Amino acid sequence: MPAQRQRRSLTRTVLLMTGLACAALASRAQAQPATDWPGRPVKLVVPFGPGSTPDIFARLLADRLSQNLRQAFVVDNRAGAGGNIGTNMVAKAAGDGYTIGISITGPLVNNTVLYKSLPYDPFKDLAPITLGAIQPNILAVPATLGVNSAQEFFALLKKNPGKYNYASVGAGTVAHLSMELIKVRTGTYIVHIPYPASPAAVTSMLTGDTQMASLAPAAIMPQVKAGKLRALAVSTAERYPGLDLPTFKEVGIPDVEATAWIGVVAPASTPPALIERINKAFVEALKHPEVVDKLRAQYMEPVGNSPREFAAFMQAELKRWKPIIERSQVRLD
């Protein structure tokens, strides 16, 4: 019996020590992200396909972050469902700083109104890190359509209601809602065809499946310069630097402003101290002269602000776009 009691006592001691060791490791794991992040490769989840503007942004930023922090930042494209699949992946990830989202207006704001239900709530399940970049949209058509101005184009649409299709990069994106706004302002009827990313949307115009799109300059301008697409107007209130294009107000269509943006988010469970460290790293990368030049070459204006400022910006975007979504009467399952 004494030997059995001794063995039981030894077993309890081993279990106790093991438990204490595990608790210490867990405590250290919780403390490590804020102090030692990043200690291993970081995944940047982009909820759209390769070649899309969020993908271009993420890859430019990943290169600089990898150099600054001496750790790999890897882009992981998870396209589908208007950006909901990849954004949900971030919302459900561990809040340890190793899964970060690079997302846009639709999955971060507008899809809360557009979809009957979402697998995540961007305002509860995601932690804003920083607003990354802002860019205009360009209304473009195939050169083969035979119109040379926005006025000619809108006249063509009015004469042929329902004949033409427009491409977008998913329901709820600025590419979608800016076209819905144009429909309202011009009194025209055109059919929406969503695509998983901007390269596919542009290809649809080149192949004749669609006849117009309102997309970011990075997607449009290469084909404009090649003479395959014709740019008609820019969606900003004033003319955008580097783009010799009229605003919608200049072509006689007032109140059409649709600025696209890209933001950085993390799972809501991410500790505040780690959010602060990630924010600092991303803002520093966004302010780097090389990154600024490369983003501006893609017609993206880098921002870089605080999590609180980005959260307020998202709320302002919801207030701006919610009436447009409700007016369009588009609802998705």
Give the burial class of 26: count Cβ atoms within 10 A of its Cβ; 0-12 exposed, 13-18 middle, 19 or more buried: exposed
What does the alpha-carbon distance between residue 25 and residue 277 come to, in Å, rounded to a whole number? Answer: 22
pLDDT at 242: 86
Residue 34's pLDDT band, with cuts at 50, 70 and 90, is low
Calculate the average pLDDT of the chain.
89
pLDDT at 184: 87
Structural domain of 282: 42-134+260-328
The alpha carbons of the chain give a radius of gyration, in whole angstroms, of 24
pLDDT at 20: 42
Q: Evaluate whether 307 touches 315 at the Cβ level (below 8 Å).
A: no
Q: What are the strands of the beta sheet with 126-135, ordered from one edge?
A: 73-77, 42-46, 99-104, 260-267, 126-135, 301-302
Residue 6: inside a domain: no
Residues 144 and 200 in one domain: yes
pLDDT at 19 over 80: no
Closest CA to 252 of 180, 324, 151: 151
Q: Evaluate whether 168 touches 213 at the Cβ level (below 8 Å).
A: yes
Residue 252: inside a domain: no
Residues 129 and 272 in one domain: yes
Residue 333: inside a domain: no
What does the alpha-carbon distance between residue 271 and residue 161 come to, in Å, rounded to a whole number? Answer: 53
- Structural domain total, the chain: 2
Most confident of 83-97, 177-191, 229-243, 254-268: 83-97
pLDDT at 38: 97
Residues 125 and 147 in one domain: no
Secondary structure, 3-state, 154-192 = HHHHHHCCCCCEEEECCCCCHHHHHHHHHHHHHCCCCEE
pLDDT at 15 over 80: no
pLDDT at 111: 92
Residue 9's pLDDT band, with cuts at 50, 70 and 90, is low
pLDDT at 29: 41
pLDDT at 328: 72
- Looking at residue 310, its amino acid is F
Residue 2 or residue 190, greater confidence = 190
pLDDT at 17: 47
Residue 229 three-state SS:
strand
Residue 13's pLDDT band, with cuts at 50, 70 and 90, is very low
pLDDT at 332: 74
Mean pLDDT of all residues in 242-263? 91
Residue 196 or residue 200, greater confidence = 200
pLDDT at 219 over 50: yes
Residues 264 and 130 in one domain: yes
What does the alpha-carbon distance between residue 183 and residue 199 come to, in Å, rounded to a whole number? Answer: 23
Mean pLDDT of all residues in 194-213? 95
pLDDT at 189 over 70: yes
Residues 198 and 143 in one domain: yes
Residues 142 and 130 in one domain: no
Task: Please say which residue of 200, 234, 268 terminates a domain.
Answer: 234
* Tokens standing for residue 51: 């070649």
* Tokens standing for residue 43: 């995944």
Residue 206: inside a domain: yes
Name which of 34-38, 249-253, 279-283 the model is least confident about.
Answer: 34-38
Residues 195 and 277 in one domain: no
Residue 54: inside a domain: yes
Report the CATH number that the domain containing residue 321 is assigned in CATH: 3.40.190.150
| Number of C-beta neighbours around residue 102 at 10 A | 28
Residue 1: inside a domain: no
Residue 91: inside a domain: yes
Residues 143 and 224 in one domain: yes
Per cent of the chain over pLDDT 70 is: 89
Q: What are phi and psi of 42, to 5 degrees?
A: -110, 135
Q: Evaluate whether 104 touches 278 at the Cβ level (below 8 Å).
A: no
pLDDT at 2: 52
Mean pLDDT of all residues in 23-33? 45
Residues 124 and 148 in one domain: no
What does the alpha-carbon distance between residue 184 and residue 171 come to, in Å, rounded to a whole number? Answer: 17
Residues 188 and 127 in one domain: no
What does the alpha-carbon distance between residue 71 and residue 264 come to, in Å, rounded to a whole number? Answer: 18
Residue 247: inside a domain: no
pLDDT at 28 over 70: no
Report the CATH number that the domain containing residue 148 is assigned in CATH: 3.40.190.10
Residues 187 and 200 in one domain: yes
Residue-wise pLDDT for 287-330, tens only, equals 999 999 999 999 999 999 999 999 999 999 999 889 888 877 77
Name which of 23-37, 145-159, 272-286 the model is least confident about.
Answer: 23-37
Residue-wise pLDDT for 117-150, tens only, equals 999 999 999 999 999 999 999 999 999 999 999 9
What does the alpha-carbon distance between residue 111 and residue 47 come to, in Å, rounded to a whole number? Answer: 13
Most confident of 61-70, 214-223, 241-250: 61-70
Residue 7's pLDDT band, with cuts at 50, 70 and 90, is low
Residues 124 and 72 in one domain: yes
Residue 23 or residue 237, greater confidence = 237
